[in-house]
Structure 1
Amino acid sequence: MKRSNAVFLALCVPTHALLRFQCAQLVIDRLDPLVTPGMAPSPHLHQILGGNSFNTTMDPTKDMPGESTCTSCSFSEDFSNYWTATLYFKAKNGTYKRVTQKPNAGFDGVNGGMTVYYMQDGLYNFNQVSKVTAFTPGFRMFIGDVNAKTKEEAERFRQLTFTCLQTIGTRDPQILDFPSEPCPAGIMTAVRFPTQASPTCWDGKNLDSPDHMAHMSYPETGSFESGGPCPATHPVRVPQLFYEVVWDTAPFNNRDDWPTDGSQPFVWSFGDATGYGNHGDYMFGWKDDALQRAMDSPCYVNCPTLKTQDVAAMNKCTIERRVDEDIDGWVTALPGGHQASYVKKRWD
């Protein structure tokens, strides 16, 4: 599960069809058209990126690229939507403050958001030569367990991790729960979709499933990274999708403001202060065959087969929040009325 700094540096070397790009923040809102379609507000707050056709329902029969007029992602043909829960700091007095995101290494000037990867052979394999089939319009999926409260439950999604950043380039160690000490350069969360519960073999028929994961399957033997074959029930090999979110926790690193009982002070927007409920959502929305072209071509960051846009255009693509509530000030309860719930973890 470890990714050393040497591996991170290796990502700076051109590879075959490993896309790494930043998406700026489209909106922070209490909407979740994948898990709770049509509900406004949804149970908890999310940070959302991508095409500006994002709405409360996201009808899978609609043409996402056709309905969007802009995208907050660097590849201007990508109108997909990517989202995760938001992070909060809980002060000693019991009030909460939202933690903002900051751009990853190499993406200065982008308004928060997160880094998105699409890969043919996994993050550890830099040859990237396997043939994959791009997702189909209407495809969507989810990874994680919002109700996980123990390490054993979180281990089902063992590649949903946290890294305490000493610098913006820190990549190890990775852990399954929130760091228990202040992190000088922030906290990075990794949301890697192909795990044992939601990997990269698709059944080729269903664009979704009731749990938003069952239409995907783990390779029959081996792993995605080792090139294990897909099972007959899920024969279509699709790209590996991976998010990195850098949370700017440095303004909250004064331990005098942390809980007096020794517990760490960060909490997901749905009330989880263990970190085990880390999760992510995805709705495919690339225009025409853009993603397939990229997966079939030598691409890394600057992909000659794709159209790109500058940082100003990415940051400009935003939408109005649908739910009117305080998401920037100090509040006594998390949006939706949640309160922090956690297993104590001491740092002394």
Structure 2
Amino acid sequence: MKSLFLALPGLAHAALRFGCSTLTIERLDPVVEPGNNPSAHVHQVVGGNAFNATVDTSVDVGNRATCTTCIFSEDKSNYWTATLYFRARNGSYHKVPQYPNAVFHDGQVGGMTIYYTQQDFWDNGNQKITSFPPGFRMTVGSPTTETREQAQQYKGLRYTCLQDILTRGSETYDFPKQPCPAGIMAIHHFPACWDGKNLDSPDHQSHMFLTGHGGFRVADPCPASHPVRMPQVAYETMWDTSVFNDKDLWPEDGSQPFIWSTGDTKGYSTHADYLFGWEGDSLQRAMDSNCFFQRCSLGKYPEGVLKVQTPEEQNACKIETTVKEPVDGCKFAPLQSLFEAKS
């Protein structure tokens, strides 16, 4: 194994892995549906408190937000995915709770684990890793994906049926068919090659190019059309489906009962949005360093370059809910009609 902190000219062994508590759960999407209140489906959102229905590319989120639900206090970015529901026999829909990933049990409430890696999990491959600029945003996956063949085009979107909190591997394109002892981990890997020009694109994806092979394996070189290597962003969401593992709660035909807020019962529509909001040059400092995971914490470790906050400070960061509708136990809420239209 390579040394994590080896310092060679041009070579950086930097990687971030950190937890963010839940900021809000509601139907807003300032990237795909700017200005719409509500948006088409419910999202679970973490990160800075500048999140709202409209955040255009002229906004420097890192300067506008005043707090964040992420452990690194300089990260005011927003990260979100669809929300997972359990479909009960009585016709109601119950939001599946989220729980912190391994190592993040010290006060994080719900939320996700966020990664920023380089060419691979360990190093930049002697390439400059360029931070995202203010106003940058992107998406991965699509809420309209309906078939396995379409889902296979997105190499970085997978599920893991958790036997325990440390289970890795055995990833699938669709929801697990059987109860998972420790829940379901939803995984989202974004592309990391940028065209060097556009903060966004009409489909929110074509300004980026994927050269990765899924997971944290070594990525291929960026193409001439998208020559700028940026950090590899990834999310892991731990959905605690174990609270619904009693088969007497499942559909009588034994089919799996979980459903995305998009109305998708297969799992193919999994998708995620990213809105950059690191303060100043904080992310670039991290990518240029040899800090790794928790050792990036300024003042706690010699390699530390990023400011951290306490779990209490994370969880104190809130925004007002603007979409006034229930998002749990929804037997007659708007998302009920959406789900029924999909069935």
Q: TM-score, normalised by structure 1?
A: 0.88
State whether residues 212 and 219 of structure 2, in contact with CA within 8 Å, keep that contact through their aligned partners in structure 1: no
AA at the equivalent of 2:99 = K
Deviation digits for residues 180-211 of structure 1 (CA, Å, limit 9, x no counterpart)? 11111111000011xxxxx2111100000011
Q: Against the structure 1 CA distance between its residues 336 and 63, is the aligned structure 2 distance closer, same or farther, given a 3 Å change threshold?
A: farther
Q: Is the 8 A contact 2:14 2:123 kept in 1?
A: no
Match of 2:156 in 1: 159
Name structure 2 gaps, 5 residues minimum: 7-12, 297-303
> C-alpha distance in 2, partners of 1:105/1:342?
35
Which residue does the alignment assign to 1:248? 240
Question: Match of 2:292?
Answer: 300
Which secondary structure does the structure 2 equivalent of 1:157 belong to?
coil
- Which amino acid in the other structure matches residue 193 of structure 2? C
Matches within 5 A, 1:112-131: 112-123=110-121, 126-129=122-125, 130-131=127-128
Residue number among 253, 258, 261 corresponding to 2:250 in the alignment: 258
The answer to whether residue 185 in structure 2 is matched with residue 188 in structure 1 is: yes
Which whole-Å CA distance do the structure 2 matches of 1:264 and 1:306 have between them?
42
Partners of 1:220 and 1:231 within 8 A in 2: no
- Are the equivalent residues in 2 in contact too, given 1:102–1:111 (CA < 8 A)? yes
Structure 1 residue 56 corresponds to structure 2 residue 56:
no
Secondary structure at the aligned position of 2:151 is classed as helix
AA aligned to 1:83 is W
- Residue deviations 1:61-107, cap 9 Å, x none? 12212211100001100011000000000012222111111100010
Residue 337 of structure 1 aligns to which amino acid in structure 2?
S
Supply the AA of the counterpart residue of 1:268: W
Do the aligned partners of 1:158 and 1:176 also contact (CA within 8 Å) in 2? no
Structure 1's 219 and 149: CA in aligned 2 closer, same or farther, altered over 3 A?
closer
1:110 aligns with 2:108: yes
210, 234, 237: which one aligns with 1:218: 210
1:330 deviates by: 4.5
CA displacement 1:275-323 (0-9 Å, x = unmatched): 0000000010100000000000012223111101111111111111110
Check the 8 A contact 1:164/1:186 in 2, yes or no: yes
Give yes or no for the alignment of 1:93 onto 2:90. yes
Q: Cα RMSD between the aligned structures?
A: 2.3
**Secondary structure in structure 2 of the residue aligned to 1:335:** helix
Shift in Å, 1:332: 4.0
Which shows bigger deviation, 90-99 or 23-32? 90-99
Structure 2 residue 200 is the aligned partner of structure 1 residue 202: no
Percentage of pairs with the same residue = 53
Question: After TM superposition, what 4+ stretches of structure 1 lie above 6 angstroms from structure 2?
Answer: none
Match of 2:284, SS state, is helix
CA contact (8 A) 2:326 2:333 kept: no
Distance in 1, matches of 2:24 and 2:210, equals 33
- 1:144 deviates by 0.2
Residue in 2 aligned with 1:318? 318
Using a 3 Å threshold, how does the CA distance of structure 1 residues 147 and 14 change in structure 2: closer, same or farther?
Answer: farther
> Residue 143 of structure 2 corresponds to which residue in structure 1?
146
> What is the CA-CA distance between 1:122 and the residue it aligns to?
2.5
- Matched with 1:268 is 260
Instruction: Tell me how far apart the structure 1 counterparts of residues 103 and 29 of structure 2 sit (CA, whole Å).
Output: 30
Deviation at 1:172, TM superposition (A): 2.3
**What is the aligned partner in structure 2 of residue 42 from structure 1?**
39
Listed as ranges, the gaps of 5+ residues in structure 1 are 1-9, 194-198, 344-348
Question: Offset at 1:218?
Answer: 3.5
After TM superposition, the structure 1 = structure 2 runs for residues 46-85 of structure 1, keeping only pairs within 5 Å, are: 46-85=43-82
The 2-side partners of 1:206 and 1:337 are apart by 37
**Residue-pair matches, total:** 325
1:232 shift after superposition = 1.6
Contact 1:201-1:216 within 8 A present in 2 as well: yes
SS, match of residue 251 in structure 1: helix
Deviations 1:137-165 (A, max 9, x none): 11100000211111101001132011111
Corresponding residue number in structure 2 for 1:196: none
Describe how 1:3-22 pairs up with structure 2 within 5 A: 16-22=13-19
